[in-house]
Structure 1
């Protein structure tokens, strides 16, 4: 059952949520991950790719597998894989306007790290709307949808889940948020829809392929009700 109160805290995923999937930053990151694994393990690109995907399946992220099995320093790893070209991300006046009109606290909840999030938000022109970034480091390098990092986020930032909403492009990442009592907003992309095929989506309260417009409509509906 959805929460009974309108949210006064909004949690936003970063990649493919605050900026459009067509920017395709992860394609660059994916290449960098492969190179990192290839260099670290001294294997060719094909073997690195196999290891990358195996660790992703078995450990949640390739980084977690490299940390657990090969003693990789996660900070070194994150700095390397996020050394990318951010120019595909352009300023987004519509998102800026929607965030400005949206009441309540706003936080970033990302599987990337703080420097990556800051560079993206600088490009978008929306950094001033967010009071904090809860990143992979804050979650002790555990990725979504591990339940404990949602609990850490709620505790650290004094959030009442029943008064919170979470926006994410990956449907399974919204399940722990729903279980805690949050309202959930699924950002549909071609890739995220494919990944959600066959899944039970009862934990999704709202869905959209345009976050800025959805937020603007949300605010407008509440003004009408008042």
Structure 2
């Protein structure tokens, strides 16, 4: 199969989940919601889970039910010393740069956070662009509209020619239904709901050598 474009999730996909960065971002979400809603932390955590399951993200739930300043929220939850959690990854840079396909960041976060992460990893220029929450008008994975808008931004007319990488199974299920080739990152072994599962992006050359044989 010929693949023309690769869509990479950002957090816990391009760097290991063990870094703790996403856990720190979640903690900041809890703090923000507690200040906004004045609820006990246990209720905040429960409410965030409800929003995640119903809307795909905490932000979408807050937008649906509360008066939230989107810019303030995004700035607050991502206001972390990223260097504490992630470091430059020359090996990842070499791998990504060698791929013959077009490469996109496709994230439910915002472009500012994505740029900060990519800069620290040293892979900013490995991508054709960043498709963030604003670029898809605040639709977010796993909403099918998010994938349609991402394809439009990237000017891809056929998802069957695209591969999507994500650490969250819930984000890959609708993509597969649309025709994307789906790759679950951070899991070893067979996963029946996706097309491929790999331990990490760094294992891509061993797990999917066909990308270097038929792409571009």
Answer whether TM exceeds 0.5 for this pair.
yes
Secondary structure, in 3 states, of the residue corresponding to 1:212?
Answer: helix
Which residue of 19, 22, 25 maps to 2:18?
22
Distance in 2 separating the partners of 1:72 and 1:106 = 32
Higher deviation after alignment, 211-220 or 129-138: 211-220
Aligned residues of 1:11 and 1:167 also touching (Cα < 8 A): yes
- The correspondence for 1:120, drawn from 113, 117, 125, is 117
SS in 1 for 2:108: coil
Q: For residues 131 and 222 of structure 1, do their structure 2 counterparts lie closer, same or farther at Cα, with a shift above 3 Å needed?
A: closer
- Tell whether 2:39 aligns with 1:43: yes
Question: How far has the Cα of 1:223 moved from its partner?
Answer: 5.1
Find the residue that maps to 2:82 and give its secondary structure. coil
1:166 paired with 2:164, answer yes
Structure 2, gaps ≥5 residues long? none
Tell me the equivalent position of 2:57: 61
Structure 1: gaps spanning 5 or more residues: 194-200
Indicate which of 181, 184, 205 corresponds to 1:183: 181
CA 1:217–1:203 in structure 2 vs 1: closer, same or farther (change >3 Å)? closer
Residue in structure 1 matched with residue 104 of structure 2 by the alignment: 107
Residue of 66, 69, 74 corresponding to 1:70? 66
User: How big is the shift at 1:216?
Assistant: 5.6
Is the 1:32–1:80 contact (alpha carbons within 8 Å) kept by the matching residues of 2?
yes
Alignment: residue pair count:
212
The alignment's TM-score, normalised by the length of structure 2, stands at 0.88
Q: Secondary structure at the match of 2:208?
A: helix
Q: Contact (CA 8 Å) 2:198, 2:207: kept in 1 or not?
A: no
Equivalent residue for 2:195? 205
Residues 104 and 94 of structure 1: CA distance in aligned 2, closer, same or farther (over 3 Å): same
Q: 1:105 to 1:145 in 2, by over 3 A?
A: same
> Does the 8 Å contact 2:3/2:211 carry over to 1?
no
Q: CA deviation at 1:57?
A: 3.2
**Residue 219 to residue 58, structure 1, CA distance change in 2 (3 Å):** closer
Query: Could you say which structure has the larger radius of gyration?
Result: 1
Q: How far apart are the structure 2 equivalents of 1:43 and 1:223?
A: 54
TM superposition score normalised by structure 1: 0.84
Please give the secondary structure, in 2, of the residue aligned with 1:117: helix
Alpha-carbon distance change, 22 to 189 in structure 1, aligned in 2, over 3 angstroms: farther
Alpha-carbon displacement from aligned partner over 1:82-135 (angstroms, at most 9, x marks no partner)? 111201111112211111111011000011111111111011101101111111
